[in-house]
Structure 1
Amino acid sequence: MKVGIARECREGERRVAATPETVKQLAGLGLDVLVESGAGAPAGHGDDEYRAAGARIVPKLDLANLDVFAHVRPLDPATAAALHRGAVTVGLAAPSSELPTVSALAEAGVTSFALELVPRISRAQSMDALTSQALVAGYRCVLEAAIRLPRFFPLYMTAAGTIPPARVLVLGVGVAGLQAIGTAKRLGARVSANDIRPASAEEVASMGGTFIRLDLETAEASGGYARELTADRGALQRRLLAPHVAQADVLITTAAVPGRRAPLLVTRDMVQGMRPGSVVVDLAAESGGNVEGSVPGMDLHVPTADGQGSVTLVGLKDAASAMPADASRLYAKNVANLLALMTRKGVVAPDFDDEVVAETCLTHDGAVRHAATAEALAALRDRPGAPGAATPGPEAPITPESENEGVV
């Protein structure tokens, strides 16, 4: 069977769905791997490396002749429609926000697997792309903050005086948050964190951080994910967090609820209450933002309440793609391991009696198998002309100063 590896075409995407290492793995399964020329260049892999690993290099993939199509970013409807009936796709699909593509995949009779849907069980850990990419993103958050903060992270005791360590506050203690805590600690910062899940306190302590306990109900959904708070509880959470935000030199937000807009954790007033020169990094900017007014891919300068300076608000975009070599190394293994689970004697044949295969499958044989996505599509069809998949934008007006900077 022919497995196609595309050169990602979305702006800012530098990852690739297969590395020379995983090409060897796929070829060892009896699969014929076709790699689009230049696909691995942004991640540091040239065409010759892929050839040496057993891949065939092609100028452009013929989608209609592929049996399996591996990708990083969600496909567009035109690409989905170009695949032949019965073809298999593996990659990030963002089903909650890419409903037109999901519909196109179903109509084309494509069997698609969304890596966001991989169940969080021990057997599926090697296929969990959300976890592997969150690891990269959490690390990147701290680096972005450290670059912009006008002071050191670590404690320094010198003959000229003592420089205290920076105070870093992390909101949201999933994989990305824990990686941010660990990275900030390694840089010497004093780190505290908060999450609405009860198990987070021990996880924060294990990374060397201090857990902030709020007088707030816990909220944990299945699979270890956070559950969205009610409006009243969300407002109480922000009120309780405000003094901790005000004391931080760096605030990093990583909170997410799968399939929903990112929860609003920090208001504009809370940002304005921080000290001049402070830095806020919103990892959730692309999914609506944990911080009011954050814009993906932009640095914004929020005037402080005292009028003496501003706080830099960083809306991260393509966080994992900013480190394409290691992000691709991890992501490609996730893809290859899922394909290996479904391959027998050189044929990719999904066994829907397997829990991992069944739960990861988005569309198959003309139907949308993921219940929540099927319900969203049905609701969209019942509301003709509804915007549907659009991700809500920032709630505060932005006046950009340049492509990468602006004022809120």
Structure 2
Amino acid sequence: MLVGVKRETRAGERRVAATPASVRQLMKLGLDIAVESDAGVQAGHDDAAYRTSGADVVARLGHVDVLCHVAPLTPDEASALRPGTITVGFASPAAELPTVSALAQAGVASFALELIPRISRAQTMDALSSQSLVAGYRAVLEAAIRFPRFFPLYMTAAGTVPPARVLVLGAGVAGLQAIGTAKRLGARVSAYDVRPASADEVASLGGSFINLDLDAIEGSGGYAREMSQDRAARQRELLAPHVAASDVLITTAAVPGRPAPLLVTTDMVAGMKGGAVVVDLAAETGGNVEGVKAGHDVAVPGVGGTVTLVGMKDAASAMATDASRLFAANVANLVELMTVDGRVVPDFNDDVVSAACLTHDGRVMHQPTAALLKGVP
């Protein structure tokens, strides 16, 4: 069977769905690999590296049995696939409904990495976690670049420089990576999450967990779930003094398939000191911070100066080499799970395979997405 690796064309996307190392992994399964020319250049892998790994490098992919990609396909790309083609990559099903419909109509068996279940045996395929790790690290670097002070404490002959106070909202994979990175840079770090069970993980990284004395909000698969408007308002009220006391605020909260929850209002930002920096990792899905713009820095009034709102966009792609290393491994591991005797044959009795399947045999298999396509709220 022929596995094709797509050259990403979406603006800002620098990652690639297969690296030379993952190509070798797939070839050991008896699969043939074709990589579009320059697919890995922005991730640090030239065509020669893919040829050395055993892949064919082609100017343009023709018909393939399995298509590996990073960004969601366009409706035109989906419609051009042959019936029975298998796709593996991100799909953003709730935001890319025309593509989902096109995949179903084309008879494509599509597997969305966002839908990989958070169970132990699927950890090596969990691209949301691997890419969130990259994004959390990058968020701290972006904040440090813009912050007009040091992160660590310095005691010098000229006086003492106090450490920066960093507050992280959301203690999932991205949040925990942000906490650990900020701590390694010497900042004083605190964090909040609606799941109290996160407190031990925050403490293990050297952060202080903020307990707002609110009921836990735990969703499926370890994710948070949406909260009522009254509870959200109360949470913002209790968080306000913590936000005001921070020099750097990093927000990472997301609810799968839904717009990002609003955690920080304009009034809360206005209480921060001039020079403070806010980095919103959820900017592309609406933002956790009011007034944030994905891909842009916005200066807003603070106390005695301006506060910089940083709307992160393509955060993982900004570190394309390591992001691709992890993503390609996730893709290869899922393909390996579905491969038997040199053929990719999905076993829908496998709970990982069935959960990750978005479309198959002309139908939308992921029920929440199917409901959205039917206009069911």
The normalised TM-score by structure 2 is: 0.99
Q: Tell me, which stretches of 5 or more residues in structure 2 are unaligned? A: none
Q: What residue identity is the alignment partner of 2:322?
A: D
Distance 1:299 1:379 in 2: 35
CA distance in 2, matches of 1:146, 1:240: 26
Q: Secondary structure at the match of 1:23?
A: helix
Q: 1:215, CA displacement in angstroms?
A: 2.2
Measured against aligned partners, the alpha-carbon deviations of 1:317-357 in whole angstroms (never above 9, x if no partner) come to: 00000000000000000000000000011110000000000
Q: Give the aligned partner of residue 395 of structure 1.
A: none
> Equivalents in 1 of 2:27, 2:225: separation in Å?
41
Tell me, in whole angstroms, the C-alpha distance in 1 between the residues paired with 2:306 and 2:201: 33
Match of 1:292 among 285, 290, 293: 290
Distance 1:232 1:216 in 2: 12
Query: 1:340 corresponds to which residue?
Result: 336
- CA distance in 1: counterparts of 2:365 and 2:7, whole angstroms: 28
Three-state SS of the structure 2 residue aligned to 1:379 is coil
Matched residues in 1 for 2:335 and 2:242: separation? 45
Q: Could you tell me which residue of structure 1 aligns to residue 352 of structure 2? A: 356
CA RMSD of aligned residues (A): 0.8
Matched, 1:368 2:368: no
Q: Which residue of 2 aligns with 1:406?
A: none
The amino acid of 2:25's aligned partner reads Q
Aligned partner of 1:19 in structure 2 is: 19
Task: Give the structure 1 partner of residue 9 of structure 2.
Answer: 9
User: For 1:264-343, what aligned pairs fall within 5 Å after superposition?
Assistant: 264-304=262-302, 306=303, 308-343=304-339
Whether 2:357 is the aligned partner of 1:377: answer no
Letter aligned with residue 239 of structure 1: E
Aligned residues: 377
One-letter amino acid of the counterpart of residue 372, structure 1: P
Amino acid across the alignment from 1:14:
R
Candidates 88, 93, 96, aligned match of 1:95: 93
Aligned to 1:389: none
Partner of 1:33: 33
Gaps of at least 5 residues in structure 1 are 383-408
SS of structure 2 residue aligned to 1:323: helix
SS at match of 2:374: helix
Which residue does 1:106 correspond to in 2?
104
The one-letter amino acid paired with 2:182 is A
3-state DSSP of counterpart to 2:110: strand
Match of 2:44 in 1: 44
Paired residue for 1:164?
162
Amino acid at match of 1:327: A
TM-score, normalising length: structure 1:
0.92
Distance in 2 of aligned mates of 1:85 and 1:18: 23
Q: Deviations over 1:270-328 (max 9, x none)?
A: 11110000000000000110000111100000012x4x310000000000000000000
How far apart are 1:181 and its partner, in Å?
0.1
Cα distance in structure 2, aligned partners of 1:165 and 1:327: 30
CA distance in 2, matches of 1:271, 1:202: 28
Alpha-carbon separation, structure 1, partners of 2:213 and 2:230: 13
> 1:9 corresponds to which letter in structure 2?
T
- The residue that corresponds to 1:193 in the other structure is 191
Question: Which secondary structure state, in structure 2, belongs to the residue aligned with residue 9 of structure 1?
Answer: coil
SS in 1 for 2:16: coil
Identity %: 70
- Corresponding letter in the other structure for 1:330: L
| Deviation >4 Å, runs of 4+ | none
Q: Distance in 1 between matches of 2:22 and 2:204?
A: 33
**Aligned-partner residue type, residue 288 of structure 1:** G
Shift of 1:6: 1.0
Q: Secondary structure at the match of 1:294?
A: coil
Please state how far the C-alpha of 1:216 moved relative to its aligned partner. Answer: 1.2
